[in-house]
Amino acid sequence: MNNHLRDLRGERGWSQQELAERLDVSRQSVNAIETGRYDPSLPLAFKIAELFGLAIEQVFTSPSRES
Amino acid sequence: MPATPALRRYNKRVLISCAAYGFSLVGGISYFNNHPGAHGPTAYLAAVIPALAIIGVFVAVGRYLVEERDEYLRMLMVRQSLVATAFALSLATLWGFLNSFDLAPRIDSYYVAVVWFAGLGVGSCVNALIERRAR
């Protein structure tokens, strides 16, 4: 599942470690989500979206809408 | 894997289980050397305690999966354990049939646990490969 996490993190000037600490997950998790190797659970996806003050679909691209 | 609190507890539990296994195995061997042909309750106890120590490692893996709060790291351990299980069951099945047709010697069944532990190493390599390919 594609997402805009790297861009959103970049806009705020956060490192992967800083984002991981804000989400209470490991840096590896952030890296895996950013690179599309891991799709987060719904609770974690909500947590990520809420951290950026966005709706889930503004952070993650629906697989059915991916070209 | 980063040392999360759950992983630190897992490592501690595995170390305790391994130490318990070492001590109980030495004790068991010593007991049966000093009591050849023993069959009483003490003999059963001496034989079972090393197995309980090994089971402790399986419990540690289960506790880690329950306690790990990082879902990605938990997924990695689940995948690693599934690979280990598939590896151990496949080898056990292959060896069992070879043994049934007298093509391989009989080996003690507790070696399945040893193979499963080796399978954890295989699982770790599979995790590393999948992670590397995805980059």
Backbone phi, psi, residue B37, to 5°: 75, 15
Residues from chain A contacting residue B75 (CB–CB below 8 Å): 38
The answer to whether B135 contacts A40, with C-beta atoms less than 8 Å apart, is: no
Instruction: Note whether B94 and B61 are same-domain residues.
Output: no
Instruction: Examine the fold and report which residue of B36, B54, B69 is the final residue of a domain before the chain moves on.
Output: B69
Q: Verify that B125 and B63 share a domain, yes or no.
A: no
> Which structural domain range is residue B56 located in?
1-69
B64 and B104 within one domain: no
pLDDT for B135? 61
Sign of the dihedral defined by the CA atoms of residues B73, B77, B80, B83, in that order: negative
Task: Give me the sign of the Cα torsion angle A28, A2, A56, A54.
Answer: positive
Same domain, residue pair B21 and B46: yes
User: Which CATH number belongs to the domain containing residue A40 in this structure?
Assistant: 1.10.260.40
Looking at the structure of chain A, the number of domains it has is 1
What percent of chain A has a predicted confidence (pLDDT) above 90? 84
- B14 and B46 assigned to the same domain: yes
Facing residue for B72 by CB, picked from A24, A28, A36: A28
Whole-number Å distance between alpha carbons of A66 and A25: 27
DSSP string across A16-57: HHHHHHHHTS-HHHHHHHHTTS-PPPHHHHHHHHHHTT--HH
What pLDDT is stored for residue B134 in this prediction?
65
Instruction: Quick: pLDDT tens for A5-50.
Output: 999 999 999 999 999 999 999 999 999 999 988 999 999 999 999 9
Q: What is the mean pLDDT of chain B?
A: 95
- The amino acid that residue B39 corresponds to is H
Q: Based on the structure, what is the number of domains in chain B?
A: 2
Cβ pair B119, B88 in contact under 8 A: yes
Is residue B21 located within the same domain as residue B55?
yes
Q: Indicate if B84 and B107 belong to the same structural domain.
A: yes
What are the tens digits of pLDDT across the range B94-131? 999 999 999 999 999 999 999 999 999 999 999 999 88
Across the interface, whether the CB atoms of B2 and A26 are under 8 A apart is answered: yes
Both B119 and B79 in one domain: the answer is: yes
User: Domain residues for A26?
Assistant: 5-65
Considering the domain architecture, whether residues B106 and B129 belong to the same structural domain is answered as yes
pLDDT class of B37 with cuts at 50, 70, 90: confident
**Predicted local confidence at residue A67, as pLDDT:** 62
